Amino acid sequence: MLTIFRSAFNSHPYRAALAVCWLILIFSIPDSFQIIFDYIGFLFLGIAGAIFANATGAGGGVVFVPFFNQIDMQNTAIVATSFAIQCCGMTAGAITWHKHRKSLVPNHYANKSVISHDAEQWSYINKGLLITIPLSILGIVTAQFILSEYTQQMQTSLHLAFGVFSILLAFAIYGSIPLLRRQESLTFLLPVDVLCLGIIAFLGGIITAWLSVGVGELVAVYLILRGFNVTSAIASAVILSAFTVWSAVIYHLMVSQAIYWNVLLFAGAGAIVGGIVAKRVVLHFSVVKLKIFFATWILIMGIAGLIT
């Protein structure tokens, strides 16, 4: 694991510059040493959540929400802070996955007449994102502004709704595992895929506004079940989630103002680290083992949410 972290940062000096800027920000705050002592643990929470999110396509809220619930954070603050942390981690992950895609298919970008096998595996992504991103954002806006009262009601029973969603998601991931061994993958979206992805993105956006998780998980599971390349499905879900959480956090900056900034300062930094190294985790470890581990984690967290 140390090798993964080292290789992720050695070749990119600007990441070290980011770390220096973060340290300057930390020590510019009054009582900085006490704040570090109180909140340093959230740095590692952010790393774990972002690795989970960017290695599976599931949002980091699957890690953040149950943890924040256990420390008795208010429900609105849980969702708002989870969104803010994911803005850091999912953005870092989306950029990393995009660069990985370009590195795999350089000929495809340099010469449109040369389409490699790798390019075909990833060729549906642009069309998929053009469908899912606007509809996911529409779902977010619908839930936050048009269905605002219902959204508030859902968040009053956040642990229950999160528990049910997590259990269903865990079984969906378990169900997708046998499909990971398929030799051939789909490379283009059929009309039925366009329709289903549009519906999933809109409904997933609404669920994401409620729980801070939803759309990325649902889209990733759908693409894998349909037979698309697993790695490209995860990348699609990560990029979609990055756009979704940025659209969702605006409400919490302007209206709810419930973001817990000290937690974000540390967990957000950790999420950037996790978002950068997650791609290497996916490529370093068995996809099947990762899916089993994360599905089991989600199932445990879902059950815990129902009994607390």
Distance CA 48, CA 37 (A): 19
Number of domains in the chain: 1
Residue 109's pLDDT band, with cuts at 50, 70 and 90, is very low
Average pLDDT over residues 180-189: 72
Residue with tokens 């953005």: 91
Burial of 268 (0-12, 13-18, 19+ CB in 10 A): buried
Express each pLDDT in 250-286 by its tens digit. Answer: 999 999 899 999 999 999 999 888 888 776 776 676 7
Cα–Cα distances in angstroms (integers) from residue 38 to residues 31, 42, 64, 265, 267, in the given order? 11, 9, 17, 12, 12
CB within 8 A of 38, min separation 6: which ones? Answer: 262
Shortest CA distance to 144 belongs to which of 33, 251, 43, 39? 251
State the CB neighbour count (10 A cutoff) for residue 303: 14
Q: Which domain holds residue 119?
A: 2-307
| pLDDT exceeds 60 at position 9 | no
Contact 100, 235 (CB under 8 A): yes
Instruction: Tell me the three state secondary structure of residue 71.
Output: coil
Report the mean per-residue pLDDT for the chain. 82
| pLDDT exceeds 90 at position 202 | yes
Average pLDDT over residues 9-28: 70
Distance CA 64, CA 245 (A): 14
Burial of 249 (0-12, 13-18, 19+ CB in 10 A): buried
Average pLDDT over residues 144-168: 84
CB within 8 A of 119, min separation 6: which ones? Answer: 104, 105, 107, 108
CB within 8 A of 210, min separation 6: which ones? Answer: 79, 143, 151, 154, 155, 158, 161
Which residue type, as a one-letter code, is found at position 125?
Answer: I
